[in-house]
Amino acid sequence: MDKRIIKTKKGLREALKSLLDEKPFDKINVTEICARSQTSRVTFYTYYNDKYDLLTDLYHSLADEAQESFRRRQKSNNPQESFDKSIQNLLDTILSFEDNSVFSAARLALEHDFIPIYHDFLLDCIRRFEIRYPEQMQSRYPVQQLNSFIAFGLWGFLHSHPGPVTEKDKADARMLINDLVNSRIFGGNT
């Protein structure tokens, strides 16, 4: 892809992200996104059908960022590719995106349209992980359903109480995921 196109699309995604810090998605319009990114409406519509299309592109960009973040974590603290440590790195990567304004708990509580997008983000992170460890991730249950259960179960576990997610919550989530992976749910652990 042409570098100018990459730069323009990145600018539009960043504009949307910054506007999301200021107001709900349903209050943002294409004109504002274009003004913030210093891009014409004609250019916007060259790449996107509407603001929802841009939001989907933003989600894909964040999923790519999560994959790169996971790779960096693996390289720095798991060069042997230990499966258990890899699970922890995946969870830490997902938790690091909890602070992202697009997927913050506050946004998901107020803007229910973002819940399916966050769900897809989590499923994408899990799917990309499964590709790396196909043997260990074989499950006794349908993969899509199990992944959905893990994705929303993890979110519910972390946000079952008012207030921000604490370090204790994160440590408990790490133990829970480790127990889950080492249980009979997965085919290699009967």
Question: Tell me, what's the pLDDT at 69?
Answer: 93
| Banded model confidence at residue 132, pLDDT cuts 50, 70, 90 | confident
Asked if residue 187 has pLDDT above 60, the reply is no
For residue 148, what pLDDT is reported?
87
| pLDDT in the model for residue 189 | 46
The predicted structure's pLDDT at residue 190:
43
List, in sequence order, every residue forming a beta bridge with 19; answer none if it has no partner: none
Give pLDDT, residue 11: 98
Give tens-digit pLDDT for 57-108: 998 898 899 999 999 999 999 999 888 889 889 988 988 887 666 777 777 7
pLDDT, position 186: 73
* Mean pLDDT along residues 116-135: 85
The Cα 170–Cα 71 span in angstroms is: 20
pLDDT the model gives residue 10: 97
Quick one: average pLDDT of 43-60? 94
**Average per-residue pLDDT in the chain?**
87
Please indicate whether residue 44 or residue 140 has the higher confidence score (pLDDT): 44
User: Amino acid letter at 14?
Assistant: E
User: pLDDT-derived band of residue 129, with 50, 70 and 90 as boundaries?
Assistant: confident
Owner of token pair 């294409």: 30
Condensed to tens digits (0 to 9), the pLDDT of residues 12-28 reads: 999 999 999 899 899 99
